[in-house]
Amino acid sequence: MRIGTAGWLPCAAINDAGDGYLADELDQALLSRFLRVKVIPNLEQWTEWAHKAAKLHPKIIRFVENSPHVFADPVANPRAWTYASQLYKAWQTGKEKDQDLLLIALAGVLNEKWALAFCGSLSDNKNPLTASQIIDQYPAHQSLVRGWVAG
């Protein structure tokens, strides 16, 4: 079976309307000419790639690594975090370190929830705690956890 012309493989990408994206359904005759593959982001594979790529900011990688359900939110997908890394690096190299500007820019590629969470991790100057850290080392983190609950 020959697919495409020598050296070429025609491909297309489209978001699934069933996943909540505003997308037109493709005609069945056209769809019959494609092999359809649903891509599901994997946190471990993304972080492995991010470490090897060496183009992503370490704080972005660390935040995503410590947010196990981050890719369950379609807005906070791997591509969005890659863009967030580019924005954060540009913000860091700028002359003025306006936190509000960073938050607005990040909310434009992630959403407000994830932008606030990431910016909050920067102001704490700490890595976010994992569930196992909270459970296994609760005495060491008790005051921080109680502050979160009170807030």
pLDDT score of 124 = 56
Alpha-carbon distance values, 2 to 5, 6, 7, 9, 63 (Å): 8, 9, 11, 10, 44
* 20 band by pLDDT with thresholds 50, 70 and 90: low
For the segment 103-138, what is each residue's pLDDT rounded down to a tens digit? 999 999 998 999 999 998 887 555 566 777 778 878
* Cβ pair 47, 71 in contact under 8 A: no
pLDDT in tens, 72-84: 888 899 999 999 9
Q: Residue 13, Cβ neighbours under 10 Å: how many?
A: 6
Q: What is the model's pTM?
A: 0.68
139: three-class secondary structure by DSSP:
helix
